[in-house]
Structure 1
């Protein structure tokens, strides 16, 4: 079954380029395009895509506001922010509202296709150049009592898993480190997402930093 994708960008040439790059993958199908944030929201509601590639700066409703609307209206949809603008403010807000990934427009074709597959599978995605800045932004904020109370119900094993998720480990790596199966890792992550009322592992990682389960250096 192919991954359905909606491309939202105000530049026709950019949309055509992204469509061309994704069109070379047999497992990815571009089902809709949008030139404004409002069009993106309408297209997402109509086509129910698996993944949206969303630009930030567009006429009318901007990409971040459109992302917030889409995630509220289309359950299961994942959004990757794809933009030339990678300021801390944009990164922080994009992840706060539930975007599953953030790519600057400097990627290679294979990276884009891999990003779509990664996010569609429920994984988190950030360009290497912005990951550290995002981590430090969240870790710099003192944890509030509400954030701390949310993780009190996690088991010791779930604490181990969430720390490794937050430090960028994939399921297979977590399985090797904890001597458990990848299926068990996936089950732990799914249980934590449901228990904590989160959208995906990106927000799970954010919570780990917000509650100081993980420090920017990667140690805990």
Structure 2
């Protein structure tokens, strides 16, 4: 299995690389210290799996995962991070990651997780799996089939959901692990496509669609 490691801490990245070198079935073909580097390596090398940290300079691991899955859907992504919070877990899964492993996991657990995700499976701890089932069973809050929202992209619908829930740009940025400026750009595009002047009007459109 050909693997790209995306991790901005050289010491930790080196440790993972050395661990994988002890196996016969896992090969590190590239290493990235930022989301941009990870995207470029994925494009060039076409690995089987990307081992992805969340917090990196530039494009973070969540956004990099989303872009990888959009452009290279056959490449699997396994998140390796210190973040245990629900928002990080759920957002990573929503953008296409197939597993979520904490950096304090033992070596055997990490190797097993890589093999499972690389083979098309999914890996979560039992508590994370339970929270995910509850979260995703609630479904989207924006009726995506409504013609009023037909021009919105998947990401724009996701942000519109957060607007409908009353979240500020800063809260949306934190939830989706993107910058405030990126959120502002998305909000501007959403308002233009919906032909409304402000986020309150966009919220009212969502509420009306739900009632209908």
Under a length normalisation based on structure 1, what TM-score does the superposition of the two structures give?
Answer: 0.61
Distance 1:142 1:118 in 2: 28
Give me the CA root mean square deviation.
1.9
Aligned with 1:21 (options 19, 22, 33)? 19
Aligned residue in 1 for 2:130: 132
Q: 1:38-70: CA deviations, max 9, x gaps? A: 011001111111010100010000001001111
Distance 1:95 1:126 in 2: 10
Aligned with 1:51 (options 46, 49, 59)? 49
Distance 2:103 2:21 in 1: 18
Aligned residue in 1 for 2:4: 6
Radius of gyration: which is bigger? 2
Unaligned runs of 5+ in 1: 148-220
Aligned residue in 1 for 2:29: 31
Q: 1:115-145: CA deviations, max 9, x gaps? A: 1111111111113342222222223448998
Contact 1:37-1:62 at 8 Å conserved across structures: yes
Contact 1:104-1:127 at 8 Å conserved across structures: no
Q: 1:77-132: CA deviations, max 9, x gaps? A: 00001100121111111111111111111211111111111111111111334222
Aligned residue in 1 for 2:106: 108
Aligned residue in 2 for 1:96: 94
Distance 1:56 1:34 in 2: 13
Under a length normalisation based on structure 2, what TM-score does the superposition of the two structures give?
Answer: 0.64
Distance 1:112 1:51 in 2: 13
User: Which portions of structure 1, spanning 4 or more consecutive aligned residues, are displaced by more than 2 angstroms?
Assistant: 139-147
